[in-house]
Amino acid sequence: MSFDAGDRAISVVRVDLYRARLELVHEFETSSHRKGHIEHILVRVADADGGTGWGEVACPSDPYYCEENVDTCWLMLKRYLVPALLDAAWTHPQQVGEHMSRVRGNRFAKAGLEMACWDLHARRAGISLAEALGGTASRVPAGVSLGIEPTVERLLETVERHARQGYRRVKLKIRPGWDVEPVRAVRSHFPQLALQVDANCAYRPGEESLSVLRRLDRLGLSMIEQPFAAGDLLAHRDLQRALDTPVCLDESIVDADSAALALALGACRVVNIKVSRLGGLGPARALHDLCRERGIPVWCGGMHEFGIGRAANVAIASLPGFTLPGDVSGSDKYYARDLVQPPVAAHGGEVPVPWDRPGLGHEIVSERLEEALMLTETMTARSAAPA
């Protein structure tokens, strides 16, 4: 996997942070909130030889999905994480996390910085990020995630549009009061469609929720994702025992240890792997390896990434254990004009892996970044050193 202890050490001497905003082509609603734009932080690292790498902090704008948001990530990067990395020597990006390990949690912020180091490493080696990670697939199956709509009729129109575009799987966001009726309508109109639902922790354990989830269980779903709170593995275990449909965990899985516990309890049969939620590509690969050893299917989840983060998702999804369609849909599904060239595009329900281009395989278009830019910060070893 391109890990050679004899590789020449790399030291990052400069980090540029870019806070950018893109408007969504279609507002997106989950069980907690509705959003019409996305703010993420882009990270560019540079070594002493002038080599560069890009990463994306695909953090939520507000603390509804997890504890982090774009403001906390900006602060943690500036005050702790970037200073910890500057001038620290490493021979492989798998070691980058060690330099940030004194900072607890803050996995979204760590993920963007670590991703940039993976891109730098792969570009220096002249290989694609997929190859650096140990990927094997030339194309990855693409699914699409659809938010809560004002009406069932609007939802059906949206599903039909994406089904015509060839997406292999459709995921529907649900919440109490928006669950059985819209999902049954989609299943009725699209009986052959691979369909799953995602609650983002919206339900509470009890007979009322169990009744709803059992009704969903009869609709031929691929999985029911994260119905209960992230820390309530026992409730998920009891639910999985009561359902034929696989339970998938997302927010509950923050590292390989939490995944091992969930699997030991029987709390799920499927795992959603998100690079940002896990703290980077290295931890995501470790979780992939664990699940593959145990025969647990995984898929790549998304956080409405811009092109940089989306390209990283495509690379990680090329690993052999990713057997289910993930949230790696084309950029045009979310943004009228993404920040990278070439765009990340889906063709016939698949996204090609750019094996013939080094690193992420996509380049930032400086003019587009300038248009989207809200705030920028440059840090070097001198500026980051403590007083």
Sign of CA dihedral 362, 365, 366, 370: negative
**Rounded percentage of the chain residues whose pLDDT exceeds 90:** 83
- DSSP category for residue 9: P
Domains of the chain: 10-125+367-384 (3.30.390.10), 132-363 (3.20.20.120)
Contact 193, 158 (CB under 8 A): no
- DSSP category for residue 246: P
Residue 7: pLDDT band with limits 50, 70, 90 = low
pLDDT at res. 237: 98
Position with higher pLDDT, 133 vs 7? 133
Residues 306 and 264: their CA atoms lie apart, in Å, by 35
What does the radius of gyration of the chain's CA atoms come to, in whole angstroms? 20
- What interhelical angle do 281-293 and 256-265 show, nearest 10? 30
Cβ-based neighbour number of residue 171 at 10 Å = 28
* Reported pTM: 0.92
pLDDT at res. 107: 97
Region 145-162 average pLDDT: 94
Region 157-173 average pLDDT: 92
Region 331-341 average pLDDT: 91
Contact 314, 353 (CB under 8 A): yes
pLDDT at 2 over 60: no
278-319 confidence digits (pLDDT tens): 999 999 999 999 999 999 999 999 999 999 999 999 999 999
pLDDT at res. 60: 87
353-364 confidence digits (pLDDT tens): 999 999 999 999
- DSSP category for residue 295: T
pLDDT at res. 6: 43
Instruction: Kindly list the distances between the CA atom of residue 307 and the CA atoms of 57, 126, 344, 360, in Å, as whole numbers in the listed order.
Output: 12, 20, 6, 10
Sign of CA dihedral 124, 127, 133, 139: positive
Region 205-216 average pLDDT: 97
223-282 confidence digits (pLDDT tens): 999 999 999 999 999 999 999 999 999 999 999 999 999 999 999 999 999 999 999 999
Residue 9: pLDDT band with limits 50, 70, 90 = confident
Query: Which residues, 6+ apart, have CB-to-CB distance to 118 below 8 Å?
Result: 53, 55, 93, 129, 132, 133, 280, 281, 282, 312
44-85 confidence digits (pLDDT tens): 999 989 999 999 999 988 888 888 999 999 999 999 999 999
User: What residues act catalytically?
Assistant: 173, 274
22-47 confidence digits (pLDDT tens): 999 877 777 556 778 899 999 999 99
E strand or H helix that includes residue 351: strand 350-352
